[in-house]
Structure 1
C-alpha cells in the first residue's frame, strides 16, 4: 500500500507541477511564497531552517520574489536588527490564482474521467491523505 500511494501521489504532484500557469514560479519560490501566505511574516533564516536549505539559497529565492513585488522586507518592531518578510497583496493574489488554476485542472479531470461514485471515494480519501502527509 505504501509503495502504491507513493507512486500515485508522486505522479499527481509531478503532473500538477508540469502544468504551465501564468506567472510561473520556481518550486523554491512557490514554497517560500506559500509559507509566508499560510504562516505569516518570518525571517529568512527561519524559512531556510523550515525548508532545510542553506540561508544563501533562501536569500536568492526571496530576492527574486521581492524583485517581482511578491514579498516585502520590514524591520522587526520587537528587534530592529532583524528583518521580517511578508507577502504582499500581489503575492497573495498570485498564490490564490495558482491554487485556483490547479484546482480547476483537477476538477476538469474529475468531471471528464471519473464516475460520481469514484469522485465520492476520492473525496472521502482526501482527509486521510492529508493526515498521512502530516504524519510523515
Structure 2
C-alpha cells in the first residue's frame, strides 16, 4: 500500500529508492559479516543468520511457541524445528510448558543466549561506531537526523 505524495511535494524519483535500497543492503551485508569467528578449539562456531534471527526474535518478543516463531520469521515449521534444535543443543534457548495449553511449549532465551546476543550486538555497534567516527561532523549530523526516518521506513 503506497501513500500518495503530500500536496505540494513531488514523489521521490525511483533513483532515490534504488540508491537507498542498495546502500541499506550493502550495510546490512557488512554487519551480517561481522558475526563471530569460529573458535579454534573445535567448539561450535557462530550461529547462522536464521539461527541468530530466531534467537533475537525470542529475546525481543518474549516467550514464543515454535509455531509463533516460525510465523514471525516467515519460515516453514519443519525448518524452524531444526533451528530450535540447534539453539537448544547450544544451550541458547530452553523449552518451558505453555501456561494454558499443555500440548504446547514456549521457547525462552537462556542466560547464555542473551550473553551471545549482547556480544554480537556490541561487536557490530563497535564496528559501526568506528565507521561513523571517520565521517565529517556534517555527515554525522545527517545520519543522526536520518536515523528516525530509516526506523520509520523499517516499520512500515
Task: Give the TM-score normalised by structure 1.
Answer: 0.94
Q: Give the alignment partner of residue 15 of structure 1, picking from 18, 30, 33.
A: 30
By how many angstroms is 1:120 displaced? 1.2
Gapped runs of 5+ residues in structure 1?
A: none
By how many angstroms is 1:129 displaced? 0.2
Which gives a bigger RCO, structure 1 or 2 (Cα 8 Å, sep 6+)? 1
Which residue number in structure 2 is paired with residue 107 of structure 1?
129
**Greater share of helix:** 1
Which residue number in structure 2 is paired with residue 29 of structure 1?
51
Q: Give the alignment partner of residue 149 of structure 2, picking from 114, 128, 133.
A: 128
Which residue number in structure 1 is paired with residue 21 of structure 2?
6
Q: Report the count of equivalent residues.
A: 134
Q: Runs of 4 or more off by more than 4 Å in structure 1?
A: none
By how many angstroms is 1:19 displaced? 2.0
CA–CA distance in 2 between the matches of 1:24 and 1:121?
A: 34
By how many angstroms is 1:121 displaced? 0.9
User: What does the per-residue CA deviation read over 1:93-114, in whole Å, with 9 as the maximum and x for residues that have no partner?
Assistant: 1111111110000001111x20
2:34–2:123 contact (8 Å) kept in structure 1: no
CA–CA distance in 1 between the matches of 2:34 and 2:117?
A: 15
2:70–2:77 contact (8 Å) kept in structure 1: yes
Task: Give the TM-score normalised by structure 2.
Answer: 0.82
Gapped runs of 5+ residues in structure 2?
A: 1-15, 38-44
